[in-house]
Amino acid sequence: MGRARWRGRSGGCECGCGCAGSNNFKINANVLQKTAASMLPFYSAVATSKRFATLWSRAVVTANLKWMEKLLASVAPHAARQGLGTNGIGYFVDVGFPRLVYTNGTTIPPGTVQFVFDPKVHQAIAQAVLPLYRRLACDRTFACKLAIAIRRGNRRLVNVLVRSRVHTAALKAVKIEDEGIALSFHYPFSKFKYRNLLFGERFFKRRRR
């Protein structure tokens, strides 16, 4: 498989997702591809290394951001240069764009439990979503289709696209949320649901005084 690319085409957007606009603050193929490419090495490490998954979970539940940053930098240097956060039951990695911060992470729904993040579940989720993130990072057409479906609120198409790459009965729901997608997983060996998230937050630069 070739290297993941996230650079847009020059000139106008041919696919209709708005990916040619460097200052566009809406979700487009560039945003999805860059975010997926940044996170791929991390998910690969979690999926293939029980030790890494265990260490990451310990860092999450202790809310040790320095430890998380060190672990992330050891496997995904580009992702580690972005914003990083934890709520004790999950983690969030930010990727910055003009007038948009796009976030990827995995968490137990807030209000369910405190300071729990099962490495076995996280590893299973990473293994399940790896094909999706690989496809997003390397296939511009797929990324464009998903971006357009999200922007149009086409829940059926988003569900079809995601499930075409995520093949596990543990994936219970796929939703459009906050200019992104929320994948809800529930494994039989865990009493808690986990959500793998891609979502955006718009912002505008302050005016100069």
Give the model confidence (pLDDT) of 36-75 as tens digits. 999 999 999 999 999 999 999 999 999 999 999 999 999 9
Which one, of 147, 102, 104, lies nearest residue 129 by Cα? 104
Is residue 166 one of the residues assigned to a domain?
A: yes
pLDDT (average), residues 92-100: 90
Is residue 145 one of the residues assigned to a domain?
A: yes
Domain count across the chain:
1
pLDDT at res. 206 = 36
Q: Report residue 203's pLDDT band, with 50, 70 and 90 as the boundaries.
A: low
Q: Report residue 16's pLDDT band, with 50, 70 and 90 as the boundaries.
A: low
Is residue 61 one of the residues assigned to a domain?
A: yes
| pLDDT tens digits along 132-175 | 999 999 999 999 999 999 999 999 999 999 999 999 999 999 99
Which one, of 146, 147, 177, lies nearest residue 163 by Cα? 146
CB atoms inside a 10 Å sphere around CB 77: 11
Listed in order, strand segments (DSSP E) in the chain are: 84-86, 90-97, 100-107, 171-177, 180-185, 194-202
pLDDT at res. 100 = 87
Is residue 156 one of the residues assigned to a domain?
A: yes
CB atoms inside a 10 Å sphere around CB 152: 11
pLDDT (average), residues 25-34: 91
Is residue 189 one of the residues assigned to a domain?
A: yes
Q: Answer with the residue of higher pLDDT: 209 or 69.
A: 69
Is residue 23 one of the residues assigned to a domain?
A: no
Domain that holds residue 192: 29-202
Q: Report residue 123's pLDDT band, with 50, 70 and 90 as the boundaries.
A: very high
pLDDT at res. 51 = 99
User: pLDDT averaged over the chain?
Assistant: 89
3-state secondary structure of 130: helix
CA–CA separation, 126 and 28 (whole Å): 23
Is residue 19 one of the residues assigned to a domain?
A: no
Is residue 190 one of the residues assigned to a domain?
A: yes
